[in-house]
Amino acid sequence: MEKDFDAWNRVKKQLDGIEKPPFFNQREIWWCSVGLNIGSELYGKGRLFTRPVLVLHKQGRYTFLGAPMSTKLKERKDYYQLNFKGEMVSVLLQEIRKYDARRLADKMGKVSEGRFSKIQKAAMQINFQPQ
């Protein structure tokens, strides 16, 4: 697959110019411009290089910790499966990272408080457990 890094760079420049990013909260799932990345790193698709991202922790008005999502289902501790709008999806707990709100494109919905609590606990076990 030929990767168009120049197209992603144009999108990044547009995103960087956004003066008023959307308002967001924890538990929300957004289409987020995660970009075109290298090797086996996670990447987005489409014109804006997006994929669904769950907002795990709001770190202020403009940044948050988010976990990207996938329709690929794997039986692993770092893939938390849930039913979102009638479709089984995975929250990729090993891919949690900091995002700027200017990357957020469209809000898709919100995870229930009970389910979100379970996702947070699973994320803590994956990301903060001594190796």
CATH architecture group of domain 5-127: Roll (2.30)
Q: Domain ranges in the chain?
A: 5-127
Query: What is the predicted pLDDT for the residue at 128?
Result: 63
CA 86 to chain centre: 19
| Span 41-69, pLDDT tens digits | 788 999 999 999 999 999 999 999 999 99
> How far apart are alpha carbons 38 and 117 in whole angstroms?
32
Q: Are 85 and 64 in contact (CB under 8 A)?
A: no
Report pLDDT for 58: 96
Radius of gyration of the chain measured on its C-alpha atoms = 15
> What is the chain's mean pLDDT, rounded?
92
What tokens appear for 11 in the block?
């999108």
For 91-124, write each residue's pLDDT tens digit: 999 999 999 999 999 999 999 999 999 999 999 8
> What HEC string does the chain produce?
CCCCHHHHHHHHHHHHCCCCCCCCCCCEEEEEECCCCCCCCCCCECCCCEEEEEEEEECCCCEEEEEEEECCCCCCCCEEEEEECCEEEEEEHHHCEEEEHHHEEEEEEECCHHHHHHHHHHHHHHHCCCC
